[in-house]
């Protein structure tokens, strides 16, 4: 709590940046795959670093939804949410909206098709199961799912993480999806089938 408040003050004074656990290479991959997308969802917003990253490259008319419960701290409000709202507002591209609830709660009410999904919320096995079961059906053919902390690397040996185990045991065997690439701990998948607007032949 104290660390969070200290960082908030330093951020407010322009002495510290918004924080993210994603690396430069992972952020570049997220931007590459989100470019031009029309309906984007991020699970787990934290300080909004990648929310803004996605917003800056998505289609000009796109809608980006960030989902995070932002639990209130002891003072009754969430410093990360304040930072996230400010960071996301630094881009004015398309429409951004924040759903302050868990991924499972948002998915239970969700009906719209999406073409870009960034999953980076609770990394436990059961939470990623809820993310995958709740959100993957909404991805259009050709749509992209980026999963953070889903692959261990030498620098981040997260073999035992629930997100890595669920990815290995379930997501990599999901016949609806194919792997496009992995960048450090980030796995990028594409929903099989012709993307909207693709002509079927040559
Ligand atoms: C690793 S941080 C997200 C970092 C962010 N995506 C980025 O790129 O910098 C994890 C976030 O997930 C949120 N979170 C935790 N459980 C969640 C859940 N069940 N649904 C959605 N978000 C959740 C936390 O509040 C936290 O802000």
Q: Please give the Cα distance from 153 to 39 (Å, whole number).
A: 30
CATH number of the domain that residue 125 is part of: 3.40.50.150
Residue-wise pLDDT for 97-108, tens only, equals 999 999 999 999
In angstroms, what is the span from residue 201 Cα to ligand 1's centroid?
41
Specify if 11 maps to a domain.
Answer: no
Residue-wise pLDDT for 64-122, tens only, equals 999 999 999 888 889 999 999 999 999 999 999 999 999 999 999 999 999 999 999 99
Phi-psi region of 109 (alpha: psi -120 to 50; beta: other; left: phi over 0): alpha
Beta carbon of 45 within 6 Å of any ligand 1 atom:
yes
Specify if 164 maps to a domain.
Answer: yes
Q: Which atom of ligand 1 is nearest to the CA of 19?
A: 9
Beta carbon of 22 within 6 Å of any ligand 1 atom:
yes
The boundaries of the domain holding residue 113 are 20-191
Beta carbon of 34 within 6 Å of any ligand 1 atom:
no
In angstroms, what is the span from residue 43 Cα to ligand 1's centroid?
6
In angstroms, what is the span from residue 70 Cα to ligand 1's centroid?
8
- Number of domains the chain is built from: 1
Specify if 72 maps to a domain.
Answer: yes
Specify if 114 maps to a domain.
Answer: yes
pTM for this prediction = 0.96
In angstroms, what is the span from residue 198 Cα to ligand 1's centroid?
34
Residue-wise pLDDT for 151-192, tens only, equals 999 999 999 999 999 999 999 999 999 999 999 999 999 999
């Amino acid at each position: 709590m104290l660390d969070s408040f200290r960082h908030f003050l330093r951020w407010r004074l322009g002495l510290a940046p918004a924080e993210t656990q994603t690396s430069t290479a992972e952020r570049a991959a997220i931007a590459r795959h989100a470019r031009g997308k029309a309906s984007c969802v991020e699970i787990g917003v934290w300080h909004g670093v990648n929310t803004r990253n996605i917003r800056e490259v998505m289609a000009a008319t796109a809608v980006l939804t960030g989902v995070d419960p932002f639990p209130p701290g002891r003072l009754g409000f969430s410093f990360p949410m304040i930072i996230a709202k400010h960071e996301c507002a630094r881009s004015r591209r398309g429409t951004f909206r924040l759903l302050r609830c868990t991924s499972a709660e948002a998915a239970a009410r969700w009906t719209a098709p999406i073409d870009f999904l960034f999953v980076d919320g609770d990394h436990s096995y059961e939470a990623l199961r809820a993310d995958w079961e709740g959100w993957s059906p909404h991805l259009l053919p050709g749509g992209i799912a980026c999963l953070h902390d889903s692959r261990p690397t030498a620098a981040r040996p997260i073999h035992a993480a629930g997100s890595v185990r669920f990815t290995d045991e379930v997501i990599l065997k999901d016949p609806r999806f194919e792997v496009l690439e992995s960048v450090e701990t980030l796995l990028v998948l594409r929903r099989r089938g012709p993307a909207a607007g693709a002509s079927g032949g040559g």
